[in-house]
Structure 1
Amino acid sequence: MGHPLRSLNTLRYLQAAQIVNRAVRTVDPLDVIPPAGAALLLPRAAVRPAEEGADRFDGRSFSFLNRRAPFCGDDRWHPAGADALWIYNLQYFRYIWGMAPADAQPLVADWIATNTAPRSAAWQPYPISLRVREWIEWLLAYGDAPEPFRHAMARSITQQTEALARQLEFHLMGNHLLENAITLCWAGLSFAGARANAWTVQGLTVLREQLQQQVLTDGVHDERSPMYQALLTEATLRLADVAKRSARVQAREIRELASSAGRAMLRSLERMVHPDGGYALLNDTAHGVAPSLASLQVRFGAPAEPSIRRGAWMLERAGYCGYDNGLGQYLVFDNGPIGPDHQPGHGHADTLSFELSHRNRRLITDTGVMTYNAGRIRQYDRSTAAHNTVEIDGRDQCELWGSFRCARRPSVSSGSAENHREGGVLAGSYRGPGRGVRSVSHTRQISVGPWLVSATDRIAAAGRHRATIRLHLAPGLRVRRADRGWAIEERDGRSVATLVSDALEWKESITAYHPEFGREIARTSLAAHTEFRDTLAAKWWLILK
């Protein structure tokens, strides 16, 4: 009964619309590519992305996710052996901005001629959503392309948008559905005609609803991934620019909705960035995918109401809090749920985990994400063991399965973040699901100052249990036993910190760090195992140099 029960515990969190839409998609898939509609692209200035990126194509092969594959043969747009995310990246066409126009045109023409199978990745709604907007803006940016090519490209855009309109991703919700709505509005505002107006109306209806649901009152996207939030920040603010240039009646509301949501997300992203400028690796976040905070701020202007960087901070609805002294010391603490109940697919079992930078250098890091393929690596990246928190009896805090599934999960309590003397005090707690034993209750308090970080974990669970506290160090750091605990050093021997604890025996191991898709780096981790009955109080100190 394990798997049927697990499935039931997964399904019970879904919204009715997700279940209904999944059934509809099964009996009524996109079997025929829609005919092209009126392809009159309205003239305006192009709205370019925040980062135009490097050329991913060398004329013979494409490189995505730290893997290069040849672009040749009948399956060149769906190469054998490439995983789904790699093929998605090939289909997005974000790379078109890094190509010379003379090189981009034959590639677009080849896509139009080759991708005629409606059930392929090319015609799935998420790749369509990302590709259509880039094609529209590229076509506007390069108005000197030959007229027959421009007409063919515009006609294909109308076909793709019509296909998108027929298969919005209500079965998934989350960032996928929001991207669908953004592109419907985008294309509707960019073309003339009745169908374009229909796309605008349909897109605005979904956009209005999903922005209200997905952008929390503290500005965080509800899937709680800085990477996806940065992508949505760029998408909404670009859409606002598109709407600004449109005379369509719905343009004003679209602009106001997109601008308000985009700027709220941009402001909250400030809190999820280390002093090195990169995002904290919270949930499904990897470097090299989303535009950086700095590039977003340059492209769209600094936030209208900049957050105060120094001191303790809290994004209450998201469950993120932390401390930033503005001088290179930064700590982010996760006391939030795995994600929205109905869509935890990009969430990890990481409650009460944290990341730490000191002197502008990452010191304690989460694991990141290497792949979305189901299997050992994906399971590890999402696991409690891959994060800087406490694992009880070798089980994850959440009942994770597949690539994106979660059955039972803990309930979190409101956290706190307060300034204290020269630092801050952060706290949070959760109560976990039973999973064969009585539910676990865990409370963590972290105190941070200029030269000291300390943590106290208090755990309650009836009976005998084994707790494992983990600290994953950033790559390039090593450890050695010292008189008072463990010395943490750079490779050249420079001292970074010393870990001491109260009656805990720490052990060193080498674990996997996945800062980018397709990339694994060995790092040093420290783990303390301790057995307890009913309750546990454990404390450790990180003395910073």
Structure 2
Amino acid sequence: MGGRFRDAPPMMEATARRAALAWPSVGGAPMRRKLARLRQMDLAEIAGRTRMEAAKWWDRVVPSGRRRRPAGTALDCRRRLEAFREAAPSHFFAGCTDARTPELLASRAPEATRELLAAADRVRAGRFDLLGYEALSFGDPIDWDLDPVSGRRAPLVHWSRLDPLDADRLGDSKVVWELNRHQWLVGLGQAYRTTGDERYAEAALAYVEHWLAANPPGRGINSASSLELAFRLIAWCWGLVLFRDSPALRPELFAWMQAAIEDHAAHVEKYLSVYFSPNTHLTGEALGLFYAGAVIPELPAARRWRERGAGILAEATARQVLPDGVYFEQSTCYQRYTVEILLHYLILCRRNGLAAPASLERRVQAMLDFLLAVRSPRGEAPSIGDADGGWLLPLAARRPGDLRGVCGTAAALYGRPDFAWAAGGAAPEILWLLGPAGLAAFESLRPAPPAAPPSRLFASGGYVVMRDGWGKDGHHLVFDVGPLGCPDSGGHGHADLLSVQCWAFGEPFLVDAGTGTYADEGWRTFFRSTAAHSTVMVDGESQARPAGPFAWQQRPRARLRRWVSTERLDFADADHDAYRRLPDPVRHRRRVLFVKPRFWVLLDDVEGADRHRVDLRFQFGAVQVTLGPETWARATAGARSLLVRPIATVPLLAAVREGSLHPREGWVSADYGQRQPAPAIVYSAEAPLPLSVVTLLMPVLDPTAPLPAVEPLARPDGRLVGLVLDGQPVALESEDVGFAGPPPASGAS
């Protein structure tokens, strides 16, 4: 569509820009940011946004009558339900309709089955585990507009009059939406299929019927995001299939739910996130359209929705997934989301006899290749960028970084032994999505670690992975040399340029602090700031300044200068331009050397002309940190430690910050809505630039072993180029990289 408008006369384009600016804008962003964004739009985007605002106005003036109890006789409703019962097994995921599923679940995953039933019982009792929160109560009957964490309730006005980011008025919309995704409906359906207990069906369908009655079409917070409508209709599709044989699914209720699915899909199609959030919002909405068209093919718009959803998924994936398999938002959580979306789409295509582009199959596998490369030695994806705590459809209880379900499903789908190795066994998701045949395909594989080298560069995404192998007790470091989030806004990216995360003996020592929440401005700002990451800060400034909760005032760039990987060492050299905005522009360059399998050395050069404050920050996870003599520090997890020893061209002041509120420092968030104090070491100096710091990171097993001897290695002009470890030089000059001596013996691994 863009090509039709690009050559429009300037007067026409200016008129359209004024029209777009005149439409009501949700969120109340400062006018200068709206004007700046408007200048970036081409005429196609302006026209699209204008049409969408006009549609919102029309919907307010002439509200839809859908989602009321559908017209038709009881006989019509009964016939529709009978037709659905007959057709569902051929259109839907095999495990939901195969009679062998309950027995196979009980024998292959007994613990997961017990967890499933316990969670379903909590939902029946009105207690919901959502995101990082447990046992939330929304009242009896449920108040579908309530955020029980803040106690705030969204008013039941037209959805376009609500700003989901206005936490002072509405509370945290994420919490409200998580309940209203109705993913608990799937858990109750799984419990019903597993046990045959009608109480699960009765509770689930009573909740849905109450929701339909309490949520008028187009009104309230639950209509304010097309993604949320898409996820809800997906859950309804699962619910209809899982409860299709239950007496609790009365023909009249079935017809009402089917009409609501049709209404949701129509809303999603009208308000696609083509311009607002063309990321997982758009792909999730596309999947919702495809679900509606594939699962209920008799709907008048079913074919159009299937084709529209498939087309968006193909186009968006080609744009969002980089050639090396990294998702463009620089977020492992949203990368996993995208893998889930594509797996559901591809499996539904196979079940419905529809062809899917081979490029999508390849991209799914490339995305998992990246997740396996950065995966921690103990099996979890590291937190990189934002993580909102959600899943496309939680078919088993999973921690935020748990990749076993997606890896197991992809292993069975593509016959990949390395994915099976990462799954660690037959995950329940395999059975629900692929049925007994998928389980058999998985169990026929011989799991094996990836054939790719453990240390790898992902050049398009900007990640360097250094690891000594694939063992559970291995050493592993991820070096971020990529951009700040996606090109549009960087909204889910963090100000983490040149940061590192580090595992020693399989334990997470240096971590990304996580996300915390989207709803509290102070915590939102902290968790995505440079202060929450293991990198260098200058003058107390984050590498980027927020322009709202999901945008940045500027998008600094990082550049990889060199990458070398051999059997004995890995070396990466990178810099970034984030601090060029300072009155005295500053450049940060970081070099990282891994002498396998013993230790890492970091060399940070901070270049400028004036006097600046420089903070070398290390954010730790749930470990104990103690400062030693000089600038030594020891982080301990059980009997295993990581030694930290920086040496600078000027004196350094060392401090441990943990759980500080003024300023916020020393916090981590394991899941959305959670935060825990965790130690951060800050090495500070205020001095004229240039300034260099060389840092040893050494895993050690023996906590009583003496500290190794460490001295700086410098050029004749005094600039640091490495260090001397137990008498052996370790050089990080790009022209002369290496460690000449034998592996150190000072209590090292």
In 2, Cα distance between equivalents of 1:200 and 1:138 = 20
Match of 1:215 in 2: 321
Instruction: Determine what percentage of the aligned residue pairs are the same residue.
Output: 22
Query: Is residue 266 of structure 2 the alignment partner of residue 172 of structure 1?
Result: no
Question: Quick one: which of 346, 362, 376 aligns to 2:522?
Answer: 376
The one-letter code of the counterpart of 2:328 is D
Match of 2:397 in 1: none
Match of 2:636 in 1: 489
- 1:279: Cα distance to partner? 1.7
More divergent stretch after superposition (197-206 vs 11-20): 11-20
Deviations 1:130-183 (A, max 9, x none): 121222123123320333332222221111111111110122211111111122
Q: Which TM-score applies when normalising by structure 2?
A: 0.67
More divergent stretch after superposition (434-443 vs 316-325): 434-443
How do residues 150-189 of structure 1 correspond to structure 2 at under 5 angstroms?
Answer: 150-170=254-274, 171-189=276-294
Query: Is residue 689 of structure 2 the alignment partner of residue 543 of structure 1?
Result: no
> Using a 3 Å threshold, how does the CA distance of structure 1 residues 425 and 380 change in structure 2: closer, same or farther?
same
Query: Is residue 183 of structure 2 the alignment partner of residue 94 of structure 1?
Result: yes
More divergent stretch after superposition (103-112 vs 383-392): 103-112
In 1, Cα distance between equivalents of 2:626 and 2:569 = 26
Match of 1:525 in 2: 680
Question: Quick one: which of 111, 121, 127 aligns to 1:61?
Answer: 127
In 2, Cα distance between equivalents of 1:16 and 1:278 = 44
In 2, Cα distance between equivalents of 1:298 and 1:424 = 31
Query: Is residue 622 of structure 2 the alignment partner of residue 479 of structure 1?
Result: no
- 1:27: Cα distance to partner? 3.6
- 1:385: Cα distance to partner? 0.8
Match of 1:319 in 2: 462
The one-letter code of the counterpart of 2:136 is A
In 2, Cα distance between equivalents of 1:177 and 1:335 = 27
Query: Is residue 145 of structure 2 the alignment partner of residue 78 of structure 1?
Result: yes
Query: Is residue 252 of structure 2 the alignment partner of residue 252 of structure 1?
Result: no
Give secondary structure in 2 for the equivalent of 1:235.
helix
Deviations 1:260-293 (A, max 9, x none): 3333322221123212222211110366755722
In 2, Cα distance between equivalents of 1:9 and 1:407 = 11
> Using a 3 Å threshold, how does the CA distance of structure 1 residues 432 and 3 change in structure 2: closer, same or farther?
farther
**Residues 7, 407 of structure 1: 8 Å contact kept:** no
In 2, Cα distance between equivalents of 1:482 and 1:394 = 26
Deviations 1:436-484 (A, max 9, x none): 4244322211112322121011122332221111001111322132467
Match of 1:273 in 2: 375
In 1, Cα distance between equivalents of 2:626 and 2:271 = 53
Deviations 1:242-268 (A, max 9, x none): 111214xxx2136x4543333332222
> Using a 3 Å threshold, how does the CA distance of structure 1 residues 204 and 136 change in structure 2: closer, same or farther?
same
- 1:105: Cα distance to partner? 1.3
Give secondary structure in 2 for the equivalent of 1:179.
helix
- 1:532: Cα distance to partner? 3.7
Deviations 1:89-110 (A, max 9, x none): 1111222222233321111111
**Residues 386, 515 of structure 2: 8 Å contact kept:** yes
In 2, Cα distance between equivalents of 1:395 and 1:484 = 24
In 2, Cα distance between equivalents of 1:198 and 1:506 = 62
**Residues 14, 343 of structure 1: 8 Å contact kept:** no
Question: Quick one: which of 559, 565, 569 aligns to 1:413?
Answer: 559
In 2, Cα distance between equivalents of 1:219 and 1:34 = 44
Q: Where in structure 1 are there 5+ consecutive unaligned residues?
A: none
Match of 2:346 in 1: 240
In 1, Cα distance between equivalents of 2:622 and 2:371 = 24
> Using a 3 Å threshold, how does the CA distance of structure 1 residues 482 and 535 change in structure 2: closer, same or farther?
closer
> Using a 3 Å threshold, how does the CA distance of structure 1 residues 35 and 283 change in structure 2: closer, same or farther?
same
- 1:425: Cα distance to partner? 1.7
- 1:544: Cα distance to partner? 1.3
- 1:78: Cα distance to partner? 0.9
In 1, Cα distance between equivalents of 2:350 and 2:241 = 16
Question: Quick one: which of 220, 235, 244 aligns to 1:134?
Answer: 235
**Residues 239, 258 of structure 1: 8 Å contact kept:** no
In 2, Cα distance between equivalents of 1:198 and 1:288 = 29
Q: Where in structure 2 are there 5+ consecutive unaligned residues?
A: 1-28, 71-76, 97-108, 153-170, 189-199, 392-399, 419-449, 659-665, 701-749
The one-letter code of the counterpart of 2:554 is R
How do residues 386-401 of structure 1 correspond to structure 2 at under 5 angstroms?
Answer: 386-401=532-547
> Using a 3 Å threshold, how does the CA distance of structure 1 residues 376 and 233 change in structure 2: closer, same or farther?
same
Match of 1:144 in 2: 245
Match of 1:296 in 2: 406
**Residues 280, 337 of structure 2: 8 Å contact kept:** no
Match of 2:512 in 1: 366
Match of 1:203 in 2: 309
Deviations 1:307-332 (A, max 9, x none): 44653212211111111222321111
Match of 2:742 in 1: none
In 1, Cα distance between equivalents of 2:257 and 2:32 = 49
The one-letter code of the counterpart of 2:144 is W
Give secondary structure in 1 for the equivalent of 2:89.
coil
**Residues 131, 389 of structure 2: 8 Å contact kept:** no
Give secondary structure in 2 for the equivalent of 1:370.
coil
Question: Quick one: which of 336, 343, 348 aligns to 1:230?
Answer: 336
Deviations 1:477-527 (A, max 9, x none): 22132467122234x6x4502211213332211111111111111111111
> Using a 3 Å threshold, how does the CA distance of structure 1 residues 291 and 536 change in structure 2: closer, same or farther?
closer
More divergent stretch after superposition (144-153 vs 400-409): 144-153
> Using a 3 Å threshold, how does the CA distance of structure 1 residues 169 and 495 change in structure 2: closer, same or farther?
closer
- 1:21: Cα distance to partner? 4.3
In 2, Cα distance between equivalents of 1:446 and 1:117 = 56
The one-letter code of the counterpart of 1:175 is T
Match of 1:28 in 2: 55
> Using a 3 Å threshold, how does the CA distance of structure 1 residues 442 and 66 change in structure 2: closer, same or farther?
same
Structure with higher Rg: it is: 2
In 2, Cα distance between equivalents of 1:72 and 1:495 = 47
The one-letter code of the counterpart of 1:144 is D
- 1:432: Cα distance to partner? 2.1
Deviations 1:52-87 (A, max 9, x none): 964462523323233343233677111152510001
Match of 1:346 in 2: 492
Match of 2:501 in 1: 355
CA RMSD, 1 decimal: 2.9
The one-letter code of the counterpart of 2:622 is P
In 2, Cα distance between equivalents of 1:17 and 1:339 = 24
Match of 2:89 in 1: 44
**Residues 66, 260 of structure 2: 8 Å contact kept:** no
**Residues 44, 245 of structure 1: 8 Å contact kept:** no
- 1:237: Cα distance to partner? 0.6
> Using a 3 Å threshold, how does the CA distance of structure 1 residues 350 and 6 change in structure 2: closer, same or farther?
farther
Q: Which TM-score applies when normalising by structure 1?
A: 0.90
